[in-house]
Structure 1
């Protein structure tokens, strides 16, 4: 990488640290058990057909997610701060009874207490540098309570309970 590329990359990282985003846990079932990770890159792509996107990097959980035929995108609320931290760490506890996980009849783990759990199937995997952008079709949506917010901003999770921000 040239010095200009390095500077642009660092400034890009700094720019997105200033940009608050929602928090999700992406989860997949598999022959080796469930896999999951915290993501702040989830975005709606299309309503017709219903689709969303997110990106992952090369962790063990990301590799399991990239090979899964279907998975869930669990949009988290303020009561899930600990869960978001757990799934953001490679050694964090995952899919414990205390975290409240369940399994769709089709085999994907989902979080019933999430603000929403979306069962999706990958449409496109787009490698970009050291990441992969996943575009997925939304198969089912389970809506939970919409109360408060959990956002990721400047490398920290922030919560807000109530109507204003």
Structure 2
């Protein structure tokens, strides 16, 4: 397979690209990591499942993120999957210039050393298996090792999901259900 050359002058302007994705809602997650100098956390809407066997997920982080240096060196990460009960954690992970571990949000360390925020809807501990530079971001491929679900719902039923859409937080609930 040949490699395709990309000429930046042929690309969609950044503002147009951002406008397209503002209208595309994304599930909200907080990712934590620690490469030995203390934990970092950030809010992400780029988390997606890519394989069930083996269990793999993917997410991307901007090089401008204050957590990017630690994530570039961390062997493992914890991906926290949030719902509306976790909105304060989502906002904390999205805030600039704050110590995300000095706030009111409680957290612990797993026996394996990773940081986990308490009482979130669900989390998955992952081993980073690949990092791919893509433009101004890094795409992470991670293998799920361990999980915990604090709050679950029946398949097809509303569960108070949290999404980010058009620069705002939104709730998914029984009123947002179109069809089952």
Output the TM-score relative to the length of structure 2: 0.83
CA distance in structure 2 between the partners assigned to 1:97 and 1:84 by the alignment: 13
Deviation at 1:140, TM superposition (A): 0.5
Q: Is 2:141 the counterpart of 1:135? A: yes
The residue number in structure 2 matching 1:163 is 174
Q: Deviations over 1:113-165 (max 9, x none)?
A: 122100001111010000011010000011110341111001111224x4342
Q: Deviations over 1:23-82 (max 9, x none)?
A: 000001232211111100000010100000000011231221121011100011112222
Q: CA RMSD in A?
A: 1.7
Structure 1: any 5+ residue segments left out of the alignment? none
Picking from 44, 48, 52, the partner of 2:49 is 44
Aligned counterpart in structure 2 of residue 83 of structure 1, from 51, 65, 89: 89
Q: In structure 2, what is the Cα distance between the partners aligned to 1:10 and 1:43?
A: 24
Size of the alignment, in residue pairs?
162
Unmatched 5+ residue regions in structure 2? 1-7, 153-158
Query: What is the correspondence of 1:1-165 to structure 2 with a 5 Å cutoff?
Result: 1-2=8-9, 5=11, 7=13, 9-58=14-63, 59-96=65-102, 98-146=104-152, 147-160=159-172, 162-165=173-176
Query: Per residue, is there more helix in 1 or in 2?
Result: 1
Look at both structures and tell me which one has the larger radius of gyration over its CA atoms: 2
